[in-house]
A and B are shown apart, each in its own frame.
Chain A
Amino acid sequence: QKEVEQDPGPLSVPEGAIVSLNCTYSNSAFQYFMWYRQYSRKGPELLMYTYSSGNKEDGRFTAQVDKSSKYISLFIRDSQPSDSATYLCAMSGRDDKIIFGKGTRLHILP
């Protein structure tokens, strides 16, 4: 089983819809969970960061971590065409090694 699994998509949703992006992982030692956004032909940029379980909200974005199920999610409310990008989950534990998911391509249709 791979350490981090993420559906590559593409995921196409209409503008204004709620988007749900997910990753599963196998390493129970992971305690830091991140979402990066990568626009086409650009470098990734950190979007959200959470520590341990629970929810974190920032504007239209909510990051959710369920450590018991080894499952993390990113929700985007009122999606906009400018949200079209690749979203990478990333996680790390005490050894400071960061593992990235392969990314999900998201298209928001106007």
Chain B
Amino acid sequence: NAGVTQTPKFQVLKTGQSMTLQCAQDMNHNSMYWYRQDPGMGLRLIYYSASEGTTDKGEVPNGYNVSRLNKREFSLRLESAAPSQTSVYFCASSEMRRGADTQYFGPGTRLTVL
């Protein structure tokens, strides 16, 4: 099992460009999450999907959109990138959307917006 995979690993964008971060999990998990991690800020939830077909905003959703393509895949789109979106982005999955459930994280995507 690969667990949670993310593509790309690194990306450099210019302000105003768009891109989609891809995430897939092979653990048959129902819930999937997108976080960003910034120095001094910790992990902050951008969007989550409790189950296939549903998505909800997290703590910092502005400037992002998501798509739960199927049970395995959850993508994050930046429509018009801004320097403030320079960050490391992590996708995670868990069996259920419960606080007690273990979240399994991907390796991250390092995004720089110039």
19 A-B contacts, Cβ less than 8 Å apart? Answer: A32-B100, A41-B107, A41-B108, A43-B105, A43-B106, A43-B107, A45-B105, A51-B100, A88-B42, A92-B99, A94-B99, A95-B99, A96-B97, A96-B99, A97-B99, A98-B99, A100-B42, A101-B42, A102-B40
Most buried by A among B4, B43, B99: B99
Describe A's contact surface by its main secondary structure. loop
**CA distance in complex: A97, B98 (Å):** 8
Describe B's contact surface by its main secondary structure. loop
- A54 on the interface (CB 8 Å rule)? no
Known A8-B40, A88-B42, A102-B40; judge A49-B108 contact (CB<8 A): no
- B15 on the interface (CB 8 Å rule)? no
- A14 on the interface (CB 8 Å rule)? no
Question: How far in angstroms is the closest Cβ of chain A from B20?
Answer: 19
Contact between chains at B41 and A42 (CB < 8 Å): no
* List of A residues within 8 angstroms of B41 by Cβ: 102
Question: How far in angstroms is the closest Cβ of chain B from A2?
Answer: 10
Contact between chains at B105 and A32 (CB < 8 Å): no
* List of A residues within 8 angstroms of B106 by Cβ: 43
Contact between chains at A43 and B4 (CB < 8 Å): yes
Tell me the B residues contacting A by CB distance below 8 Å: 4, 40-43, 45, 90, 92, 97-100, 102-108
Total count of chain A residues near the partner, CB < 8 A: 24
- A46 on the interface (CB 8 Å rule)? yes
Contact between chains at B99 and A44 (CB < 8 Å): no
Question: How far in angstroms is the closest Cβ of chain B from A53?
Answer: 15
Question: How far in angstroms is the closest Cβ of chain A from B99?
Answer: 3
**CA distance in complex: A31, B106 (Å):** 26
Contact between chains at A88 and B99 (CB < 8 Å): no
Contact between chains at A98 and B102 (CB < 8 Å): no
The chain A residue with its CB closest to the CB of B33 is: A98
Partner of A102, one of B42, B99, B102, B105: B42
